[in-house]
């Protein structure tokens, strides 16, 4: 199988073919999503709240994300593996961003990195891109800026649409190979997608984007509770695991597991 590369995503955009991205944080999910033909696996800083038990993406560190990224990179034969730079690991300077990005590639085997921000991140994107690091940008609602943005809010509404388009252009001009748009009105995301040459990847941005991304624990129902409007639930993994764990516990308590067939 041939590895998905940045030019493949660009070619898919040009052909009007949609592509897919999912988060992955470990070996079996990575291998399974890869087998399903998902083009891009994102080791998101959403591991903060989906793996490490934090309430937001802010606390997760580079040292916590690198081992997860390594596991995903070892397990995906075809998918492009994108490492998500955590809060505070790239915003200080282009040098800081580049050095962090290089760690994801050298120490963890990521094929690309993702970072949040628009025009203000152009120097960081440029430094990475010139230094051999493919960069996926992320604009619209950017969870690392949750507190600065005043909570989970749709971005790019009304007057702000022009600024969103300017941010999209700025990250493209800086050398990003793709851009995630999160929580943006569908018509605005469609307009940005049409105006950009690089592929756009939507999450809560309607179906006019070139690709889509979801956090797998949300989409496949490992996480329960309140979901964002943009999440569609494709499975009930929580329910499957809950039933399996209960059935196992029942068997052990009843003395029916292990049976003779499990015993030496």
* Minimum CB distance to Na ion, residue 99 (Å): 19
CB count in 10 Å sphere of residue 46? 21
Site string for ligand KIV, 58-97 (x = CB under 6 A): --------------------------x-------------
**Six-digit token pair at 228?**
């964002």
Residue 203 binds ligand KIV (CB under 6 A)? yes
Site string for Na ion, 6-45 (x = CB under 5 A): --------------------------------------xx
β pairing state of 80-84 and 200-203: unpaired
Number of residues this chain uses to bind Na ion (CB under 5 A): 3
Residue 135 binds ligand KIV (CB under 6 A)? no
Active site residue 182: yes
3-state secondary structure of 82: strand
* Minimum CB distance to ligand KIV, residue 23 (Å): 5
Q: How far apart are CA 214 and CA 106, in angstroms?
A: 26
Binding partner of residue 126 among Na ion, ligand KIV, none, CB under 5 to 8 Å per kind?
none
Alpha helices (runs of H) in the chain, residue ranges in sequence order: 6-15, 27-35, 47-50, 62-75, 94-106, 122-130, 146-149, 160-174, 186-195, 216-219, 237-254
Residues in 69-108 that interact with Na ion by CB under 5 A: 84
Residue 180 binds ligand KIV (CB under 6 A)? yes
Neighbouring residues of 206: CB distance < 8 A, sequence distance ≥ 6: 184, 185, 186, 187, 189, 190
Phi, psi of 148 (to 5 degrees): -70, -35
Q: How far apart are CA 165 and CA 187, in angstroms?
A: 12
Binding residue for ligand KIV, selected from 44, 86, 204, 211, defined by CB under 6 A? 44
Residue 155 binds ligand KIV (CB under 6 A)? no
> Nearer to ligand KIV by C-beta: 234 or 257?
234
Number of residues this chain uses to bind ligand KIV (CB under 6 A): 10
Residues within the interface to ligand KIV (CB under 6 A): 23, 42, 44-46, 84, 180, 203, 213, 215
């Amino acid at each position: 199988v041939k590895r998905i590369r940045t030019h493949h995503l660009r070619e898919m955009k040009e052909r009007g073919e949609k592509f897919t991205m999912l988060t992955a944080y470990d070996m079996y999910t990575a291998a399974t999503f890869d087998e399903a033909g998902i083009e891009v696996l994102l080791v998101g800083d959403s591991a903060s709240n989906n793996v490490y038990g934090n309430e937001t993406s802010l606390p997760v560190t580079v040292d916590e994300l690198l081992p997860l990224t390594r596991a995903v990179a070892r397990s995906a034969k075809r998918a492009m593996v994108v490492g998500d730079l955590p809060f505070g690991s790239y915003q200080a300077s282009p040098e800081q961003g580049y050095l962090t990005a290089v760690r994801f590639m050298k120490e963890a085997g990521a094929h690309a990195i993702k970072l949040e921000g628009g025009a203000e991140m152009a120097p960081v994107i440029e430094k990475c891109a010139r230094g051999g690091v493919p960069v996926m940008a992320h604009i619209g609602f950017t969870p690392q800026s949750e507190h600065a943005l005043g909570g989970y809010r749709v971005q790019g509404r009304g007057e702000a649409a022009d600024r969103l388009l300017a941010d999209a252009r700025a990250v493209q001009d800086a050398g990003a190979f793709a851009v995630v748009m999160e929580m943006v009105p569908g018509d605005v995301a469609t307009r940005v997608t049409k105006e950009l040459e690089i592929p756009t990847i939507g999450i809560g941005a309607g179906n006019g984007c070139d690709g889509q991304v979801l956090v797998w624990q949300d989409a496949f129902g490992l996480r329960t509770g309140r979901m964002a409007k943009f999440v569609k639930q494709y499975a009930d993994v929580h329910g499957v695991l809950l039933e399996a764990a209960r059935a196992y516990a029942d068997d052990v308590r009843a003395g029916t597991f292990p049976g003779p067939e499990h015993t030496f």
